[in-house]
Amino acid sequence: MSVFSNRNFDQHENVVFHECRASGLKAIIAIHDSRLGPAMGGCRMFPYSSDEAAINDVLRLSQGMTYKNALAGLAIGGGKAVIIGNPREATAATWGAMGDFVQSLSGRYITAEDSGTSVSAMQLIAQRTPYVTGVSSTQAHQGDPSPSTAKGVYFAMKESVRVRYGQNHLSGLTVGIQGFGNVGRHLCKLLIEAGVSVFGADPNQDNADSARALGAKIVDPGLLMTLPMDVFAPCAMGAILNSDTVAKLQTGLVCGAANNQLATPDVELELMKREILYAPDFAVNSGGIIDAFSQYSPTANINVEQQIAEISNTLAAVFDYANANGVTAGSAAVKLAKLRVENGLTPEKSLLSA
């Protein structure tokens, strides 16, 4: 099947395939839109069931990065890389070959850590190309943007709770977290410190044990989405919200770190019918890319903490527009993102008047 006829193709500027016989690397880099600057986005490694599944993922993820970066007010475009394979089988040769692949694009794409990759992997990539971020030894977490992603989700959750439940704090709420990896674990800690009752699931026993040590209750992954909770926070892989799972949800709010949480955009309409508010993932989880951009472009003088806190205000504008115009929050977020791309990040007078 041609990439051009793929349902997820959205006038992407570049979709580049690469195979390195020596290392066994099979990877795809997609650049969706570079009007705001060179594309930046994470490098994901996953044992995709097929090449088509990998193509679908990289197309959707790179589009999401365009929207995410624009909503975060960053002068960078949207791109993404996926590596087809098991992260546990990756070697130094894998990351070196990936660095060569990134380098071959001459700076049009800047890579970073994502699901299935790590700071150490980025450091190996950085030995072959300068077009990588999240490797700064002077950053608070040695380059790891995950804590910043979690912090952004935390601020977004507070705003979403204000809109959905009419309260300005999270204390006393129950949050179910799907996935206690780097971001989910940090989010768990922030929520528990805020007086939230947290439960969740992760098939990785080490991740589950880490969350349990923080005070979270661990439940069966198959039961998680069927349990009553105030907020469901997906923090693992995407496309977990579909007709079947939405029908089982017992919550009034979905707000989490995972990318592409909706299997298809129309799933949000099903959430609306059930009076479940959806906080668009690309508006919620931009804390990490804000951190990564700051590391890559220190001369941009980004105030990371301040810009992460701004996620709340951006999300408030999205919810206001959606409510005033009777559209989904996802549609409102895309509209705002496209306005920022088309106008070169010039602050819009108001999304409500757009």
Instruction: Verify whether residue 68 is a known catalytic residue.
Output: no
Name the strands in the sheet holding 217-218, side by side, starting at the edge strand that comes first in the sequence: 217-218, 197-201, 174-178, 231-234, 253-254, 277-278
Residue 175, both tokens: 């949050």
Question: What pLDDT, on the 0 to 100 scale, is given for residue 43?
Answer: 97
Question: What pLDDT, on the 0 to 100 scale, is given for residue 178?
Answer: 98
**Residue 254 near residue 37 (C-beta atoms within 8 A):** no
**Residue 152 near residue 287 (C-beta atoms within 8 A):** yes
Quote the CA–CA distance of 218 and 56 in Å, as a whole number.
Answer: 32
Question: What pLDDT, on the 0 to 100 scale, is given for residue 346?
Answer: 66
Spell 30-67 as b/e; 16+ CB within 10 A means b.
Answer: bbbbbebbbbbbbbbbbebeeeeebbbbbbbbbbbbbb
Question: What pLDDT, on the 0 to 100 scale, is given for residue 58?
Answer: 97
Quote the CA–CA distance of 43 and 128 in Å, as a whole number.
Answer: 15
Quote the CA–CA distance of 56 and 52 in Å, as a whole number.
Answer: 6
Residue 324's CB: how many other CB atoms inside 10 A?
A: 11
DSSP notation for 113-168: E-TT--HHHHHHHTTT-S-B-S--TTSTTTT--HHHHHHHHHHHHHHHHHHHH--S
Residue 327, both tokens: 């559209």
**Residue 234 near residue 153 (C-beta atoms within 8 A):** no
294 alpha-carbon distance from chain centroid: 17
Quote the CA–CA distance of 228 and 249 in Å, as a whole number.
Answer: 8
Q: pLDDT tens digits for the chain (354 residues)?
A: 689 999 999 999 999 999 999 999 999 999 999 999 999 999 999 999 999 999 999 999 999 999 999 999 999 999 999 999 999 999 999 999 999 999 999 999 999 999 899 989 999 999 999 999 988 666 566 678 899 999 999 999 999 999 999 999 999 999 999 999 999 999 999 999 999 999 999 999 999 999 999 999 999 999 999 999 999 999 998 889 999 999 999 999 999 999 999 999 999 999 999 999 999 999 999 999 999 999 998 777 889 999 999 999 999 999 999 999 999 999 999 999 999 999 887 655 444 344
The active-site residue, picked from 68, 80, 151, 158, is 80
**Residue 9 near residue 32 (C-beta atoms within 8 A):** no
Q: Which one-letter DSSP state was computed for residue 24? A: T
Question: What pLDDT, on the 0 to 100 scale, is given for residue 237?
Answer: 86
Question: What pLDDT, on the 0 to 100 scale, is given for residue 300?
Answer: 78
**Residue 257 near residue 153 (C-beta atoms within 8 A):** yes
Q: Which one-letter DSSP state was computed for residue 72? A: T
Known binding residues: 179-184
All domains in the chain, ordered by first residue: 3-64+73-125 (3.40.50.10860), 146-285+325-330 (3.40.50.720)
**Residue 186 near residue 146 (C-beta atoms within 8 A):** yes
Which residues lie across from 33 on neighbouring strands? Answer: 78
**Residue 9 near residue 3 (C-beta atoms within 8 A):** yes
Known binding residues for NAD(+): 179-184
**Nearest-CA neighbor of 62 among 14, 103, 17, 94?**
14
Question: What pLDDT, on the 0 to 100 scale, is given for residue 345?
Answer: 74
**Residue 39 near residue 78 (C-beta atoms within 8 A):** yes
Helix, strand, coil distribution of the chain in percent, nearest 5: 45, 20, 40
DSSP notation for 268-332: HHHHHHTT-EE--HHHHSTHHHHHHHHHH-GGG---HHHHHHTHHHHHHHHHHHHHHHT--HHHH
Question: What pLDDT, on the 0 to 100 scale, is given for residue 297?
Answer: 87
Dihedral of alpha carbons 264, 266, 272, 273, sign: negative
**Nearest-CA neighbor of 233 among 274, 197, 270?**
197
Provide the whole-model pTM: 0.92
